[in-house]
Amino acid sequence: MRNELILVLDFGGQYKELIAGMVRKLSVYSEIHPGDLSVEEIRKMNPIGIILTGGPNSVYLPNSSKCDPAIFDLDIPVLGICYGMQMMCGMLGGEVRQSSTGEYGRIAVTVSDNPQSQLFADTGIDKQFFALMSHRDAVTRLPNDFLQTAFTNNCIAACENSAKKLYGIQFHPETKHTEYGSGIFHNFLYEICGAKGDYKLDDYIGTQVEKLRKQVGKDRVLLALSGGVDSSVCASLLSKALPEQLTCIFVDHGFMRQNEGDQIESVFSKRKLNFIRVNAQERFLNKLKHVSEPEAKRKLIGEEFIRVFEEESAKLGDIPFLAQGTIYPDIVESGGKHGAAIKSHHNVGGLPTNLRFTGVIEPLSGLFKDEVRVLGRKLGLPVSLVNRQPFPGPGLAIRIMGEVTLEKLDIIRKADAILREELDRMKKRPSQYFTVLTDTYSVGVKGDERTYSPVIAVRAVTTDDFMTCDYAALPHKILSRVSSRITSEIPQICRVVYDITSKPPATVEWE
């Protein structure tokens, strides 16, 4: 039986996967599709509701992204978020202009008394709450038959035409920075769209197993196994779908954390799959000689990964399919049809065009990190592995600013090990923490001698989704101990700094 569907139409908003994820958490299936999807295709998909995402453009510009205008006459509930609200209002005869004052960050939103929208009713939502805003453009005049249902000091924060089931909100309820965001989505799904809540992650497993068996048949699959959460869950799902057909290759590029390569081999060589470890540190270091630009590093590492896989598959005979643990955030940050690329991921933006595989399999590409962890537990993976911190595919190569060398790798491994050892003792640890070897040099004093050495930056963040995050307010006592140990135990380092930037505007990683 087909699940009820909420269609998320993408106009380049960086939070589109958070929207889809929020819908799924509320037990309704969601899919993301391009914003210009035709109304004919939408009718075939038969969604119970449509959500229009945010986006980086201005709706009044000639070449700005637009949806099919017939969407608004389908008698299907539509929720426009940020750019989605502006686009809907602009296309239906309202006015959108650039404001003299933009709104960024958590802004106070006041719910209108009359009428009270179904979006804000019966969820315990206060008359005034804080919501994440990120816009300079604003709706300055509503279309005919639309009513304002919430406002800030500077803009119309929500509007609707309930007769036509059209709703707009200027803020982002999909992020944790908006109070009552889940309740607002719940109202849209269950009170406005009439959802029954028939989606569970177990359905994803069954659907993917069936899809993989149909796609692969009796052929074999080669999986890049990093030992991280994504590739490990991918391996478990593939093993369930394609027993005896899976070969996992762990390419040790030499950029892993301290003793990590041996730990990965210890865990996976004992499992019922064909496990191969390829030690290729020298090969990757040679590839990165004199390379400092982060995007160049990512793409070179990605291409070299594929070349190693191709060579190993040739030794094993014909293996037509390459599997990867790509998830939604990888794809989003690598840029889409309407979105701006933030950075390429080695298994997305770094893929070469002349692959020698018949096809690429990415069974987790529709999931967010929290869903991947839940899926891993359902597939029987140990909690210690499922809850492991995210670690980028290029590894420490992108936690070293500038050219990557053996000496720098030794420094960053020791610093990272010290940080993890200290923070692992905390009862409530941050979501992710690591060190960065910067290319900024600082004067110091060790043993009454002047030193001039690189600065180590410590990064620790708290987040629910890894699309947004706050820096972790670590106790000064812990930060002091980390700094003291790094500068004492690593001769080349005399200064440690702490990164207190959230996302946005920064990303989690430095490169």
CA distances from 147 to 97, 195, 264 (A): 18, 25, 58
CA 277, chain centre distance (Å)? 28
**Helical residues (DSSP H) of 387-475, grouped into ranges:** 406-423
Under DSSP, the state recorded for 57 is: S
CA 383, chain centre distance (Å)? 21
Amino acid code (one letter) for 416: D
Task: Measure the CA dihedral 305/311/312/318, to 10°.
Answer: 120
What are the DSSP calls for 282-296, one per residue? HHHHHHTTT---HHH
Cβ–Cβ < 8 Å for 200, 27: yes
Cβ–Cβ < 8 Å for 172, 178: yes
How far is the C-alpha of 57 from the C-alpha of 109, rounded, in Å?
23
HEC per residue, 143-193: CCCCEEEEECCCCEEEEEEHHHCEEEECCCCCCCCCCCHHHHHHHHHHHHC
Cα end-to-end span (Å), the chain: 44
Ranges assigned E (strand) in 346-448: 359-361, 432-446
As annotated, the active-site residues are: 82, 172, 174
Return all residues near 432 (Cβ < 8 A) that are at least 6 apart.
389, 390, 459, 460, 461, 463, 466, 469, 508
Q: Which residues pair with 106 in a beta bridge?
A: 132
Tokens 């933030």 belong to: 342
Under DSSP, the state recorded for 394 is: T
H or E element that contains 385: helix 383-386
How far is the C-alpha of 379 from the C-alpha of 375, rounded, in Å?
6
Cβ–Cβ < 8 Å for 419, 433: yes
Return all residues near 293 (Cβ < 8 A) that are at least 6 apart.
none
Tokens 């539509």 belong to: 78
Exposure class string for 132-164: b at 16+ Cβ within 10 A, else e: bbbbebbbeebbeebebbbbbebbbbbbbbbeb
